[in-house]
Structure 1
Amino acid sequence: MTKTNQPTILVINDDGITAPGIKALMETMKEIGRVVVVAPDSPQSGMGHAITIGKPLRLDKVDLYEGMEMYRCSGTPVDCVKLAVNVVLKGQKPDLCVSGINHGLNNSINVLYSGTMSAAVEGAIEGIPSIGFSLDDYTLQADFSHCLKFVKSIALEVLANNLPPATLLNVNFPNIKHIKGIKVCRQAAAKWAEEFDERMDPHKRPYYWLTGVFQMNDQGEDTDVHALEHGYASVVPVQFDMTAHHAIPLLNGWKWSEPGF
Protein backbone atom coordinates (compact mmCIF):
# COMPACT_ATOMS: atom_id res chain seq x y z
CA MET A 1 0.00 0.00 0.00
CA THR A 2 1.03 3.62 -0.41
CA LYS A 3 1.83 5.98 2.43
CA THR A 4 -1.77 7.14 2.44
CA ASN A 5 -2.79 3.50 2.93
CA GLN A 6 -4.62 3.58 -0.38
CA PRO A 7 -3.75 0.89 -2.92
CA THR A 8 -2.38 1.83 -6.30
CA ILE A 9 -4.50 0.18 -8.97
CA LEU A 10 -3.33 -0.22 -12.56
CA VAL A 11 -6.20 -0.26 -15.08
CA ILE A 12 -5.65 -1.75 -18.55
CA ASN A 13 -7.89 -2.93 -21.38
CA ASP A 14 -7.82 -4.12 -24.98
CA ASP A 15 -10.79 -2.21 -26.39
CA GLY A 16 -8.89 1.08 -26.34
CA ILE A 17 -8.61 3.99 -23.95
CA THR A 18 -11.92 5.56 -25.05
CA ALA A 19 -14.01 2.40 -24.60
CA PRO A 20 -16.97 2.66 -22.19
CA GLY A 21 -15.84 -0.49 -20.38
CA ILE A 22 -12.57 0.95 -19.15
CA LYS A 23 -14.36 4.13 -18.03
CA ALA A 24 -16.71 2.04 -15.88
CA LEU A 25 -13.78 0.08 -14.45
CA MET A 26 -11.62 3.10 -13.62
CA GLU A 27 -14.51 4.91 -11.94
CA THR A 28 -15.20 1.84 -9.80
CA MET A 29 -11.53 1.41 -8.88
CA LYS A 30 -11.35 5.12 -7.95
CA GLU A 31 -13.64 4.27 -5.04
CA ILE A 32 -10.93 1.95 -3.71
CA GLY A 33 -7.62 3.69 -4.30
CA ARG A 34 -5.29 5.62 -6.56
CA VAL A 35 -5.94 4.74 -10.19
CA VAL A 36 -3.36 4.74 -12.97
CA VAL A 37 -4.68 3.98 -16.45
CA VAL A 38 -2.46 2.80 -19.30
CA ALA A 39 -4.43 1.60 -22.32
CA PRO A 40 -4.04 1.14 -26.08
CA ASP A 41 -4.76 4.10 -28.31
CA SER A 42 -6.96 1.88 -30.53
CA PRO A 43 -8.81 -1.45 -30.16
CA GLN A 44 -6.53 -4.45 -29.66
CA SER A 45 -9.03 -7.28 -29.26
CA GLY A 46 -7.74 -10.77 -30.02
CA MET A 47 -4.10 -9.74 -29.67
CA GLY A 48 -3.43 -12.39 -27.03
CA HIS A 49 -0.01 -11.99 -25.40
CA ALA A 50 1.56 -10.13 -28.32
CA ILE A 51 4.28 -7.59 -27.62
CA THR A 52 5.79 -4.93 -29.87
CA ILE A 53 9.28 -5.70 -31.16
CA GLY A 54 11.19 -3.87 -33.88
CA LYS A 55 9.34 -0.57 -33.79
CA PRO A 56 9.06 2.20 -31.19
CA LEU A 57 6.28 2.47 -28.67
CA ARG A 58 4.54 5.78 -27.99
CA LEU A 59 3.24 6.66 -24.54
CA ASP A 60 1.32 9.92 -24.08
CA LYS A 61 -0.39 11.34 -21.02
CA VAL A 62 -4.00 12.29 -21.75
CA ASP A 63 -6.77 14.13 -19.91
CA LEU A 64 -9.91 12.31 -20.96
CA TYR A 65 -11.60 12.37 -17.56
CA GLU A 66 -11.13 14.90 -14.80
CA GLY A 67 -8.89 13.83 -11.94
CA MET A 68 -7.77 10.60 -13.63
CA GLU A 69 -4.12 9.75 -14.33
CA MET A 70 -4.25 8.29 -17.84
CA TYR A 71 -1.79 7.30 -20.54
CA ARG A 72 -2.43 6.02 -24.05
CA CYS A 73 -0.02 3.57 -25.62
CA SER A 74 0.57 2.75 -29.28
CA GLY A 75 1.19 -0.92 -28.46
CA THR A 76 -0.65 -4.00 -27.29
CA PRO A 77 -2.34 -4.58 -23.93
CA VAL A 78 0.75 -6.45 -22.72
CA ASP A 79 2.94 -3.54 -23.84
CA CYS A 80 0.71 -1.31 -21.70
CA VAL A 81 1.44 -3.35 -18.58
CA LYS A 82 5.17 -3.38 -19.24
CA LEU A 83 5.29 0.39 -19.82
CA ALA A 84 3.06 1.04 -16.82
CA VAL A 85 5.36 -0.83 -14.45
CA ASN A 86 8.70 0.21 -15.90
CA VAL A 87 8.03 3.78 -17.12
CA VAL A 88 4.91 5.28 -15.55
CA LEU A 89 5.37 3.75 -12.09
CA LYS A 90 9.16 3.66 -12.44
CA GLY A 91 9.49 0.07 -11.25
CA GLN A 92 7.10 0.44 -8.32
CA LYS A 93 4.62 -2.43 -8.53
CA PRO A 94 0.95 -1.49 -8.14
CA ASP A 95 -1.09 -3.26 -5.50
CA LEU A 96 -3.58 -4.52 -8.08
CA CYS A 97 -3.86 -4.81 -11.86
CA VAL A 98 -7.36 -4.92 -13.36
CA SER A 99 -8.11 -5.34 -17.04
CA GLY A 100 -11.38 -4.55 -18.84
CA ILE A 101 -14.21 -4.30 -18.56
CA ASN A 102 -14.13 -6.09 -21.89
CA HIS A 103 -16.95 -5.68 -24.38
CA GLY A 104 -17.66 -9.40 -24.92
CA LEU A 105 -17.04 -12.61 -23.01
CA ASN A 106 -13.64 -14.13 -22.38
CA ASN A 107 -14.88 -17.45 -21.06
CA SER A 108 -13.68 -20.91 -22.01
CA ILE A 109 -11.02 -21.07 -24.76
CA ASN A 110 -11.36 -17.32 -25.41
CA VAL A 111 -8.92 -16.71 -22.57
CA LEU A 112 -6.08 -17.75 -24.89
CA TYR A 113 -6.90 -15.15 -27.55
CA SER A 114 -7.98 -12.29 -25.31
CA GLY A 115 -5.96 -9.12 -25.06
CA THR A 116 -7.91 -8.29 -21.90
CA MET A 117 -6.82 -11.50 -20.20
CA SER A 118 -3.27 -11.33 -21.54
CA ALA A 119 -2.85 -7.94 -19.88
CA ALA A 120 -3.96 -9.50 -16.60
CA VAL A 121 -1.63 -12.46 -17.18
CA GLU A 122 1.26 -10.04 -17.71
CA GLY A 123 0.36 -8.36 -14.44
CA ALA A 124 0.53 -11.73 -12.70
CA ILE A 125 3.87 -12.48 -14.36
CA GLU A 126 5.10 -9.23 -12.81
CA GLY A 127 3.96 -10.51 -9.41
CA ILE A 128 0.94 -8.19 -9.23
CA PRO A 129 -2.45 -9.55 -8.07
CA SER A 130 -4.43 -9.35 -11.31
CA ILE A 131 -8.01 -9.69 -12.54
CA GLY A 132 -9.59 -9.64 -16.00
CA PHE A 133 -13.24 -8.51 -16.23
CA SER A 134 -15.57 -9.11 -19.21
CA LEU A 135 -19.26 -8.56 -19.95
CA ASP A 136 -21.41 -10.45 -22.45
CA ASP A 137 -22.16 -7.35 -24.53
CA TYR A 138 -20.07 -6.40 -27.55
CA THR A 139 -21.75 -3.06 -28.23
CA LEU A 140 -20.42 0.39 -27.41
CA GLN A 141 -23.78 1.04 -25.72
CA ALA A 142 -23.14 -1.73 -23.18
CA ASP A 143 -24.55 -1.08 -19.70
CA PHE A 144 -22.04 -2.08 -17.02
CA SER A 145 -23.98 -0.77 -14.05
CA HIS A 146 -25.38 -4.12 -12.94
CA CYS A 147 -21.96 -5.75 -12.60
CA LEU A 148 -19.97 -2.94 -10.95
CA LYS A 149 -20.83 -3.95 -7.37
CA PHE A 150 -19.36 -7.37 -8.14
CA VAL A 151 -16.28 -5.79 -9.75
CA LYS A 152 -15.66 -3.76 -6.60
CA SER A 153 -16.30 -6.69 -4.27
CA ILE A 154 -13.95 -9.01 -6.16
CA ALA A 155 -11.21 -6.37 -6.29
CA LEU A 156 -11.51 -5.75 -2.55
CA GLU A 157 -11.34 -9.47 -1.81
CA VAL A 158 -8.17 -9.84 -3.89
CA LEU A 159 -6.59 -6.84 -2.16
CA ALA A 160 -7.50 -8.22 1.26
CA ASN A 161 -6.52 -11.84 0.69
CA ASN A 162 -4.07 -11.77 -2.23
CA LEU A 163 -3.92 -14.66 -4.69
CA PRO A 164 -1.80 -17.80 -4.84
CA PRO A 165 1.54 -17.30 -6.63
CA ALA A 166 1.37 -17.23 -10.44
CA THR A 167 -2.45 -17.12 -10.35
CA LEU A 168 -4.95 -14.53 -11.58
CA LEU A 169 -8.73 -14.34 -11.95
CA ASN A 170 -10.82 -14.44 -15.11
CA VAL A 171 -14.21 -12.89 -14.31
CA ASN A 172 -17.13 -12.90 -16.77
CA PHE A 173 -20.59 -11.37 -16.35
CA PRO A 174 -23.83 -12.34 -18.09
CA ASN A 175 -25.71 -9.53 -19.80
CA ILE A 176 -28.70 -9.50 -17.45
CA LYS A 177 -29.94 -6.85 -15.04
CA HIS A 178 -30.06 -9.08 -11.96
CA ILE A 179 -26.98 -11.26 -11.62
CA LYS A 180 -27.72 -14.07 -9.16
CA GLY A 181 -24.26 -14.09 -7.59
CA ILE A 182 -20.75 -15.39 -8.14
CA LYS A 183 -19.65 -18.95 -8.91
CA VAL A 184 -16.03 -20.09 -8.80
CA CYS A 185 -15.67 -22.32 -11.85
CA ARG A 186 -13.33 -24.20 -14.10
CA GLN A 187 -12.74 -23.21 -17.71
CA ALA A 188 -15.17 -25.03 -19.99
CA ALA A 189 -13.75 -27.34 -22.64
CA ALA A 190 -14.87 -25.73 -25.88
CA LYS A 191 -13.39 -24.45 -29.13
CA TRP A 192 -14.10 -22.32 -32.15
CA ALA A 193 -14.84 -24.09 -35.42
CA GLU A 194 -13.34 -21.48 -37.74
CA GLU A 195 -14.43 -20.71 -41.24
CA PHE A 196 -12.94 -18.19 -43.65
CA ASP A 197 -15.27 -16.17 -45.83
CA GLU A 198 -13.44 -15.64 -49.12
CA ARG A 199 -14.12 -12.42 -51.04
CA MET A 200 -12.55 -10.58 -53.95
CA ASP A 201 -11.03 -7.11 -53.90
CA PRO A 202 -11.37 -4.71 -56.89
CA HIS A 203 -8.15 -6.18 -58.33
CA LYS A 204 -9.63 -9.70 -58.30
CA ARG A 205 -7.34 -10.82 -55.50
CA PRO A 206 -8.91 -12.97 -52.78
CA TYR A 207 -9.08 -11.86 -49.17
CA TYR A 208 -10.60 -13.52 -46.12
CA TRP A 209 -12.80 -12.70 -43.14
CA LEU A 210 -12.51 -15.02 -40.15
CA THR A 211 -15.87 -16.36 -39.00
CA GLY A 212 -16.86 -19.42 -37.03
CA VAL A 213 -19.12 -21.20 -34.59
CA PHE A 214 -18.48 -21.69 -30.88
CA GLN A 215 -18.61 -25.43 -30.19
CA MET A 216 -19.47 -26.33 -26.60
CA ASN A 217 -19.01 -30.03 -25.88
CA ASP A 218 -18.60 -29.73 -22.10
CA GLN A 219 -21.80 -30.47 -20.20
CA GLY A 220 -20.28 -30.01 -16.75
CA GLU A 221 -22.22 -27.89 -14.28
CA ASP A 222 -19.04 -26.50 -12.74
CA THR A 223 -17.89 -24.55 -15.82
CA ASP A 224 -17.83 -20.85 -16.58
CA VAL A 225 -20.18 -21.35 -19.54
CA HIS A 226 -22.76 -23.11 -17.34
CA ALA A 227 -22.57 -20.41 -14.67
CA LEU A 228 -23.10 -17.61 -17.21
CA GLU A 229 -25.98 -19.42 -18.88
CA HIS A 230 -27.70 -19.70 -15.49
CA GLY A 231 -27.35 -16.04 -14.54
CA TYR A 232 -24.18 -16.09 -12.44
CA ALA A 233 -20.88 -14.27 -12.77
CA SER A 234 -18.09 -16.78 -13.34
CA VAL A 235 -14.73 -16.56 -11.59
CA VAL A 236 -12.03 -18.86 -12.95
CA PRO A 237 -8.56 -18.98 -11.35
CA VAL A 238 -6.02 -18.95 -14.19
CA GLN A 239 -2.33 -19.78 -14.21
CA PHE A 240 0.32 -18.89 -16.75
CA ASP A 241 2.36 -22.06 -16.13
CA MET A 242 1.21 -24.02 -19.18
CA THR A 243 2.99 -27.21 -18.20
CA ALA A 244 0.69 -30.23 -18.51
CA HIS A 245 1.83 -31.67 -15.18
CA HIS A 246 -0.50 -34.67 -15.46
CA ALA A 247 1.31 -35.75 -18.65
CA ILE A 248 4.80 -35.87 -17.12
CA PRO A 249 4.40 -39.40 -15.58
CA LEU A 250 3.10 -40.65 -18.94
CA LEU A 251 6.05 -39.22 -20.86
CA ASN A 252 8.52 -40.56 -18.30
CA GLY A 253 7.18 -44.03 -19.09
CA TRP A 254 8.00 -43.78 -22.78
CA LYS A 255 11.08 -45.49 -24.19
CA TRP A 256 12.94 -42.46 -25.47
CA SER A 257 15.61 -43.23 -28.08
CA GLU A 258 19.17 -42.41 -27.20
CA PRO A 259 21.05 -40.07 -29.56
CA GLY A 260 22.32 -41.98 -32.55
CA PHE A 261 19.63 -44.69 -32.53
Structure 2
Amino acid sequence: MKKPLILVTNDDGITAPGLRTLIRIMKELGEVVVVAPDSPQSGMGHAITVDSTLFSKKVVVDHMEGAPNEYSCSGTPADCVKLALREILDRKPDICVSGINHGSNSSINVIYSGTMSAAIEAGIEGIPAIGFSLCDYSWEANFEPSVSMVKKIAKEALDNGIPKGTVLNVNIPKTNNPPKGIKVCRQARGNWNEKFDKRTSPSGKDYYWLTGEFELLDKGQDTDEWALSQGYVSLVPTQFDLTAHHAIPQINNWDF
Protein backbone atom coordinates (compact mmCIF):
# COMPACT_ATOMS: atom_id res chain seq x y z
CA MET A 1 0.00 0.00 0.00
CA LYS A 2 1.14 3.54 -0.72
CA LYS A 3 2.14 5.68 2.20
CA PRO A 4 -0.19 8.62 2.89
CA LEU A 5 0.81 11.68 0.88
CA ILE A 6 1.29 14.63 3.23
CA LEU A 7 1.46 18.21 1.94
CA VAL A 8 3.42 20.42 4.35
CA THR A 9 3.35 24.21 4.23
CA ASN A 10 3.55 27.25 6.52
CA ASP A 11 3.62 31.05 6.60
CA ASP A 12 6.99 31.69 8.28
CA GLY A 13 8.97 30.64 5.24
CA ILE A 14 10.59 27.46 3.99
CA THR A 15 13.64 27.73 6.28
CA ALA A 16 11.66 28.32 9.49
CA PRO A 17 12.56 25.98 12.37
CA GLY A 18 8.87 25.26 13.00
CA LEU A 19 8.43 23.99 9.46
CA ARG A 20 11.60 21.89 9.69
CA THR A 21 10.21 20.29 12.87
CA LEU A 22 6.87 19.57 11.23
CA ILE A 23 8.57 17.95 8.24
CA ARG A 24 10.55 15.68 10.55
CA ILE A 25 7.38 14.59 12.35
CA MET A 26 5.38 14.01 9.17
CA LYS A 27 8.14 11.89 7.63
CA GLU A 28 7.30 9.30 10.29
CA LEU A 29 3.71 9.17 9.06
CA GLY A 30 3.93 9.22 5.28
CA GLU A 31 5.41 10.58 2.08
CA VAL A 32 6.08 14.30 2.49
CA VAL A 33 6.06 17.04 -0.14
CA VAL A 34 6.77 20.60 1.00
CA VAL A 35 5.50 23.74 -0.74
CA ALA A 36 6.16 26.82 1.36
CA PRO A 37 6.75 30.57 0.95
CA ASP A 38 10.27 31.67 0.06
CA SER A 39 10.03 34.44 2.68
CA PRO A 40 7.91 35.13 5.80
CA GLN A 41 4.19 35.67 5.10
CA SER A 42 2.81 36.04 8.61
CA GLY A 43 -0.51 37.85 8.96
CA MET A 44 -1.37 37.48 5.28
CA GLY A 45 -4.69 35.83 6.03
CA HIS A 46 -6.22 34.25 2.94
CA ALA A 47 -4.58 36.61 0.46
CA ILE A 48 -3.76 35.18 -2.97
CA THR A 49 -1.56 36.50 -5.78
CA VAL A 50 -3.67 37.76 -8.68
CA ASP A 51 -1.91 40.88 -10.02
CA SER A 52 1.73 39.80 -10.18
CA THR A 53 3.80 36.84 -11.33
CA LEU A 54 4.09 33.78 -9.11
CA PHE A 55 7.44 31.97 -9.00
CA SER A 56 8.28 28.52 -7.67
CA LYS A 57 11.37 26.34 -7.73
CA LYS A 58 12.57 23.05 -6.28
CA VAL A 59 14.98 23.61 -3.40
CA VAL A 60 17.18 21.62 -1.05
CA VAL A 61 17.12 22.90 2.53
CA ASP A 62 18.22 19.87 4.54
CA HIS A 63 21.06 17.87 3.01
CA MET A 64 20.25 14.44 4.35
CA GLU A 65 19.25 11.01 3.15
CA GLY A 66 15.54 10.67 2.60
CA ALA A 67 14.91 14.42 2.46
CA PRO A 68 11.48 15.17 0.96
CA ASN A 69 10.83 17.03 -2.27
CA GLU A 70 10.60 20.72 -1.40
CA TYR A 71 9.46 23.72 -3.41
CA SER A 72 9.66 27.40 -2.51
CA CYS A 73 6.95 29.76 -3.71
CA SER A 74 7.04 33.55 -4.04
CA GLY A 75 3.40 33.85 -3.01
CA THR A 76 1.23 33.54 0.08
CA PRO A 77 0.45 30.40 2.08
CA ALA A 78 -2.84 30.00 0.20
CA ASP A 79 -0.90 30.35 -3.08
CA CYS A 80 1.40 27.53 -1.95
CA VAL A 81 -1.51 25.14 -1.50
CA LYS A 82 -3.13 26.14 -4.79
CA LEU A 83 0.14 25.67 -6.65
CA ALA A 84 0.83 22.34 -4.97
CA LEU A 85 -2.56 20.93 -5.93
CA ARG A 86 -2.60 22.24 -9.50
CA GLU A 87 1.04 22.05 -10.61
CA ILE A 88 3.33 20.11 -8.29
CA LEU A 89 1.63 17.04 -6.84
CA ASP A 90 0.78 14.05 -8.99
CA ARG A 91 -2.10 12.97 -6.74
CA LYS A 92 -4.38 14.47 -4.15
CA PRO A 93 -2.74 14.57 -0.72
CA ASP A 94 -4.27 12.56 2.08
CA ILE A 95 -3.73 15.45 4.47
CA CYS A 96 -2.31 18.98 4.52
CA VAL A 97 -0.50 20.23 7.60
CA SER A 98 0.54 23.85 8.05
CA GLY A 99 3.07 25.19 10.56
CA ILE A 100 4.41 24.78 13.08
CA ASN A 101 3.82 28.50 13.35
CA HIS A 102 6.09 30.68 15.46
CA GLY A 103 3.34 32.32 17.53
CA SER A 104 -0.23 31.81 18.65
CA ASN A 105 -3.19 31.51 16.30
CA SER A 106 -5.79 31.09 19.02
CA SER A 107 -8.98 33.13 19.46
CA ILE A 108 -9.50 35.90 16.87
CA ASN A 109 -5.94 35.48 15.60
CA VAL A 110 -7.23 32.69 13.37
CA ILE A 111 -8.78 35.36 11.11
CA TYR A 112 -5.40 36.90 10.28
CA SER A 113 -3.37 33.72 10.20
CA GLY A 114 -1.48 32.68 7.08
CA THR A 115 -0.85 29.32 8.75
CA MET A 116 -4.55 28.61 9.11
CA SER A 117 -5.41 30.08 5.71
CA ALA A 118 -3.17 27.49 4.07
CA ALA A 119 -5.02 24.76 5.96
CA ILE A 120 -8.38 26.31 5.05
CA GLU A 121 -7.40 26.44 1.38
CA ALA A 122 -6.75 22.69 1.52
CA GLY A 123 -10.02 22.16 3.38
CA ILE A 124 -11.94 24.02 0.66
CA GLU A 125 -10.49 21.46 -1.78
CA GLY A 126 -11.84 18.61 0.34
CA ILE A 127 -8.48 17.69 1.87
CA PRO A 128 -8.24 17.00 5.61
CA ALA A 129 -6.15 19.84 7.01
CA ILE A 130 -4.59 21.02 10.27
CA GLY A 131 -2.85 24.23 11.25
CA PHE A 132 -0.30 23.87 14.06
CA SER A 133 1.00 26.84 16.09
CA LEU A 134 3.32 27.18 19.07
CA CYS A 135 2.68 30.12 21.42
CA ASP A 136 6.26 31.36 21.11
CA TYR A 137 7.20 33.98 18.52
CA SER A 138 10.94 33.45 18.87
CA TRP A 139 12.86 32.07 15.88
CA GLU A 140 14.75 29.95 18.45
CA ALA A 141 11.52 28.58 19.98
CA ASN A 142 11.71 25.12 21.54
CA PHE A 143 9.45 22.85 19.48
CA GLU A 144 10.58 19.55 21.00
CA PRO A 145 7.95 19.37 23.79
CA SER A 146 5.23 19.61 21.13
CA VAL A 147 6.48 16.82 18.87
CA SER A 148 4.52 13.93 20.37
CA MET A 149 1.25 15.90 20.42
CA VAL A 150 1.63 17.04 16.81
CA LYS A 151 2.30 13.49 15.70
CA LYS A 152 -0.64 12.12 17.71
CA ILE A 153 -3.12 14.64 16.29
CA ALA A 154 -1.96 14.16 12.70
CA LYS A 155 -2.10 10.37 13.03
CA GLU A 156 -5.61 10.49 14.46
CA ALA A 157 -6.70 12.72 11.57
CA LEU A 158 -5.18 10.32 9.03
CA ASP A 159 -6.78 7.29 10.70
CA ASN A 160 -10.22 8.77 11.35
CA GLY A 161 -10.62 11.65 8.91
CA ILE A 162 -11.77 15.17 9.73
CA PRO A 163 -15.45 16.15 9.51
CA LYS A 164 -16.39 17.61 6.13
CA GLY A 165 -16.16 21.39 5.92
CA THR A 166 -13.86 21.51 8.94
CA VAL A 167 -10.16 22.17 9.50
CA LEU A 168 -8.39 21.86 12.83
CA ASN A 169 -6.75 24.83 14.52
CA VAL A 170 -4.19 23.45 16.97
CA ASN A 171 -2.28 25.69 19.36
CA ILE A 172 0.48 24.49 21.67
CA PRO A 173 1.47 26.27 24.90
CA LYS A 174 4.99 27.60 25.33
CA THR A 175 6.63 25.17 27.72
CA ASN A 176 9.86 23.28 28.27
CA ASN A 177 7.86 20.24 29.39
CA PRO A 178 5.39 18.12 27.42
CA PRO A 179 1.87 19.63 27.46
CA LYS A 180 -0.60 18.12 29.92
CA GLY A 181 -2.81 16.79 27.13
CA ILE A 182 -5.18 17.87 24.39
CA LYS A 183 -8.43 19.77 24.90
CA VAL A 184 -11.07 20.04 22.15
CA CYS A 185 -12.26 23.62 22.54
CA ARG A 186 -14.24 26.47 21.12
CA GLN A 187 -12.61 29.68 19.95
CA ALA A 188 -12.41 32.24 22.74
CA ARG A 189 -13.96 35.67 22.25
CA GLY A 190 -11.27 38.32 22.15
CA ASN A 191 -9.94 41.19 20.09
CA TRP A 192 -6.94 43.44 19.66
CA ASN A 193 -6.84 46.92 21.15
CA GLU A 194 -4.78 48.44 18.37
CA LYS A 195 -3.09 51.72 17.68
CA PHE A 196 -0.60 53.05 15.16
CA ASP A 197 2.81 54.30 16.20
CA LYS A 198 3.18 57.34 13.96
CA ARG A 199 6.68 58.44 12.95
CA THR A 200 8.22 60.78 10.44
CA SER A 201 10.95 59.81 7.98
CA PRO A 202 14.04 62.01 7.37
CA SER A 203 12.36 63.20 4.17
CA GLY A 204 9.32 64.41 6.14
CA LYS A 205 6.88 61.63 5.23
CA ASP A 206 4.66 60.13 7.90
CA TYR A 207 4.78 56.36 8.38
CA TYR A 208 3.12 53.99 10.83
CA TRP A 209 3.82 50.81 12.81
CA LEU A 210 0.78 48.80 13.91
CA THR A 211 0.89 47.95 17.61
CA GLY A 212 -1.63 46.63 20.08
CA GLU A 213 -2.52 44.33 22.95
CA PHE A 214 -4.77 41.28 22.87
CA GLU A 215 -7.82 41.50 25.14
CA LEU A 216 -9.54 38.29 26.23
CA LEU A 217 -13.30 38.85 26.55
CA ASP A 218 -14.19 35.29 27.48
CA LYS A 219 -13.96 33.71 30.93
CA GLY A 220 -15.22 30.29 29.80
CA GLN A 221 -13.29 27.17 30.72
CA ASP A 222 -14.06 25.48 27.41
CA THR A 223 -12.02 27.84 25.20
CA ASP A 224 -8.67 27.62 23.48
CA GLU A 225 -7.27 30.46 25.58
CA TRP A 226 -8.25 28.72 28.81
CA ALA A 227 -6.75 25.40 27.69
CA LEU A 228 -3.48 27.06 26.74
CA SER A 229 -3.30 28.94 30.04
CA GLN A 230 -3.64 25.61 31.86
CA GLY A 231 -0.84 23.94 29.90
CA TYR A 232 -2.96 21.99 27.42
CA VAL A 233 -2.85 21.84 23.66
CA SER A 234 -6.01 23.45 22.29
CA LEU A 235 -7.78 21.91 19.29
CA VAL A 236 -10.57 23.97 17.74
CA PRO A 237 -12.60 22.49 14.86
CA THR A 238 -12.88 25.50 12.53
CA GLN A 239 -15.35 25.88 9.66
CA PHE A 240 -14.92 27.96 6.55
CA ASP A 241 -18.65 28.33 5.86
CA LEU A 242 -19.03 31.86 7.26
CA THR A 243 -22.82 31.85 7.07
CA ALA A 244 -24.41 33.08 10.32
CA HIS A 245 -27.19 30.51 10.17
CA HIS A 246 -28.75 31.70 13.43
CA ALA A 247 -29.32 35.17 11.91
CA ILE A 248 -31.26 34.02 8.84
CA PRO A 249 -34.73 33.80 10.54
CA GLN A 250 -34.41 37.29 12.03
CA ILE A 251 -33.27 38.90 8.77
CA ASN A 252 -36.06 37.09 6.89
CA ASN A 253 -38.48 39.16 8.97
CA TRP A 254 -37.16 42.41 7.49
CA ASP A 255 -39.47 44.25 5.11
CA PHE A 256 -37.83 43.68 1.76
TM-score range, shorter chain: over 0.9
* 2: CA distance, partners of 1:161 / 1:178: 24
Aligned counterpart, 1:95:
94
What is the SS of the residue equivalent to 2:228? helix
Aligned counterpart, 2:158:
159
Aligned counterpart, 1:246:
246
CA displacement at 1:254 relative to structure 2: 1.8
Aligned counterpart, 1:42:
39
CA displacement at 1:94 relative to structure 2: 0.1
* 2: CA distance, partners of 1:184 / 1:174: 14
Aligned counterpart, 1:117:
116
Q: Aligned partner of 2:61: which letter?
A: L
Q: Aligned partner of 1:159: which letter?
A: L
Provide, for residues 64-106 of structure 1, a one-character-per-residue CA deviation record: whole Å limited to 9, x for no partner. 113221000000000000000111114x210000000000000
Aligned counterpart, 2:211:
211
* 2: CA distance, partners of 1:125 / 1:178: 32
Aligned-residue RMSD, C-alpha: 0.8
Aligned counterpart, 1:23:
20
* 2: CA distance, partners of 1:97 / 1:61: 19
What is the SS of the residue equivalent to 1:25? helix
What is the SS of the residue equivalent to 1:198? strand
The alignment's TM-score, normalised by the length of structure 2, stands at 0.97
What is the SS of the residue equivalent to 1:110? helix
Q: 1:32 aligns with which of 24, 29, 42?
A: 29
* 2: CA distance, partners of 1:178 / 1:133: 16
* 1: CA distance, partners of 2:95 / 2:41: 22
Asked whether 1:8 is paired with 2:5, we answer yes
* 1: CA distance, partners of 2:178 / 2:70: 32
Structure 1 residue ranges, 4+ long, deviating more than 3 angstroms after superposition: none
Aligned counterpart, 2:73:
73
What is the SS of the residue equivalent to 1:148? helix
Q: Aligned partner of 2:85: which letter?
A: V
Provide, for residues 3-49 of structure 1, a one-character-per-residue CA deviation record: whole Å limited to 9, x for no partner. x4310000000000000000000000000000000000000000000
* 2: CA distance, partners of 1:236 / 1:153: 15
Q: How many equivalent pairs are there?
A: 252
* 1: CA distance, partners of 2:86 / 2:24: 24
Aligned counterpart, 2:51:
54
Asked whether 1:136 is paired with 2:135, we answer yes
Q: Aligned partner of 2:252: which letter?
A: N
* 1: CA distance, partners of 2:61 / 2:205: 42
* Structure 2 unaligned residues grouped into runs of 5+: none
Aligned counterpart, 1:259:
none
CA displacement at 1:178 relative to structure 2: 2.9
